[in-house]
């Protein structure tokens, strides 16, 4: 079994799309094993996205991600990292395949409703960034 991290970003939270997004993943029979709403600090988001620190979009991304609460979730299933990446669609919501989460709920390349881990290795790191072991339900 694999696990992946999904972040429902501030735009989707403020537009009340949390339930819609969770329902989409639920329809795939993925197991939701952890979930919480937080208001991340600048320091936390800068650390989380530190791989992009030198890129021009880093500061605007940080500002966006601290603009409101986010919902962090851990989902579990076979081959879930790749499956979730397909379900959320392309980073740029305008280019995302019709029916994907970013196409349905996003606005552009940054304000795109969700973040999802892009590899099993990153999923493990990202999950540990937001959750303690005891916060994750073992199935």
Cβ pair 37, 121 in contact under 8 A: no
Give the integer Cα–Cα distance in Å for 102 and 9: 11
Using a 10 angstrom Cβ sphere, with 0-12 exposed, 13-18 middle and 19 or more buried, the burial of residue 81 is buried
Cβ pair 96, 109 in contact under 8 A: no
Active-site residue flag, 52: no
Exactly one of 89, 115, 117, 130 is catalytic; which is it? Answer: 115
Give the phi and the psi of residue 66 in degrees, each rounded to 5.
-100, 5
Give the integer Cα–Cα distance in Å for 25 and 3: 13
Q: Which residues are catalytic?
A: 115
């Amino acid at each position: 079994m694999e696990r992946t991290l999904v972040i429902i970003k501030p735009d989707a939270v403020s537009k009340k799309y949390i339930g819609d997004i969770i329902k989409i993943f639920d329809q795939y029979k993925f197991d939701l094993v952890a979930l919480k709403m937080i208001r991340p600090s600048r320091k936390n988001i800068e650390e989380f996205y530190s791989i992009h620190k030198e890129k021009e979009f880093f500061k605007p991304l940080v500002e966006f991600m601290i603009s409101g609460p986010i919902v962090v979730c851990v989902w579990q299933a076979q081959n879930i990292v790749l499956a979730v990446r397909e379900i959320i669609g392309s980073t740029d919501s305008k280019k995302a395949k019709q029916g994907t989460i970013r196409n349905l709920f996003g606005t552009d390349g940054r304000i795109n409703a969700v973040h999802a881990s892009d590899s099993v290795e990153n999923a493990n790191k990202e999950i540990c960034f937001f959750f303690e072991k005891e916060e994750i339900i073992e199935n």
